[in-house]
Chain A
Amino acid sequence: DAMVIQNPRYQVTQFGKPVTLSCSQTLNHNVMYWYQQKSSQAPKLLFHYYDKDFNNEADTPDNFQSRRPNTSFCFLDIRSPGLGDAAMYLCATSRDRGHQNTEAFFGQGTRLTVV
């Protein structure tokens, strides 16, 4: 029944070593989001895809990139992780149908540790 699935749940990476987090969805939603949540802080939107259109938030560092090869999958790439990138990364989806929209559905998150 899992609808938004994030893998892995826990990821440890080395300082400066590229890492990829994955998200898949079974909801067939056209919008997918990546949020970063640092310890004891609120989630913060990094970027989102509206279908294949990529939308970056103005203050998202260049170190963060994303790919969406198809409707179901979305990846978060961190090119050179720093210690400050350790956080929970949350993937979310929503459906936009013009006048009918759904709320965001979140995955369980991937907790990234940088050593």
Chain B
Amino acid sequence: AQSVTQLGSHVSVSEGALVLLRCNYSSSVPPYLFWYVQYPNQGLQLLLKYTSAATLVKGINGFEAEFKKSETSFHLTKPSAHMSDAAEYFCAVSEMRRTSYGKLTFGQGTILTVHP
């Protein structure tokens, strides 16, 4: 069984400040890990993914995440927040095996607010 915990349902930062969104996972098998972003009344857009290659993963819009197996974490960071980053962010896990890429278990989401 898999699960994802996102610490903090709401995160507020100032424009230009560091963004840190926390994600911890639980999985009985090696995981694939993803971060998705969702704007109001929109679908999910993939930011980045970890699929057992490099543990530091770079994604779109300046985001990156580091897979830490010892901490079962996959936190999302961005050095400098932009107003357009305001959205809801979901961390998700799937099992590292066939047919599982899209079969995702999501965290509860973190709403990021960016203040001018």
Q: B19 to nearest A CB, angstroms?
A: 20
Contact with A along B26-48 (1 / 0, CB 8 A): 00000000101000011111100
As a 0/1 sequence over residues 88 to 110 of chain B, the CB contacts with chain A under 8 angstroms (1 = contact) are: 00100000001111111111110
Question: Would you call the interface of chain A mostly helix, strand, loop, or mixed?
Answer: strand
Contact across chains for B44 and A43 when beta carbons are under 8 A apart: yes
Which residue from chain A places its CB closest to the CB of B100 in the assembled complex? A101
**Known A-B contacts A42-B109, A43-B90, A111-B41; A104 and B99 likewise in contact (beta carbons under 8 Å):** no
Chain B interface residue count: which class? 20 to 34
Q: How far is the CA of A101 from the CA of B109 in the complex (A)?
A: 25
Report the separation of the CA atoms of residues A30 and B107 in the bound assembly, to the nearest whole angstrom. Answer: 26
Contact A103 B41 (CB under 8 A): no
Q: How far is the CA of A33 from the CA of B99 in the complex (A)?
A: 11
Chain A residue numbers with a CB within 8 Å of B104 are 43, 45, 104
Q: Is the CB of A108 closer than 8 A to any CB of chain B?
A: yes
Residues of A21-66 whose CB lies within 8 A of B:
31, 33, 40-45, 48, 50
Ordered nearest first, which 9 A-B pairs have the shortest CB separation? A104-B102, A94-B102, A42-B106, A106-B43, A106-B44, A101-B101, A108-B43, A94-B101, A109-B43
Residues of chain B touching chain A, judged by Cβ–Cβ distance below 8 Å, are 34, 36, 41-46, 49, 90, 98-109
> Besides the contacts A42-B106, A43-B44, A111-B41, what 19 more A-B pairs have beta carbons closer than 8 Å?
A4-B43, A31-B102, A40-B109, A41-B109, A42-B90, A42-B107, A43-B104, A45-B103, A50-B99, A90-B43, A93-B102, A96-B99, A96-B101, A98-B98, A101-B100, A101-B101, A103-B46, A104-B44, A109-B41
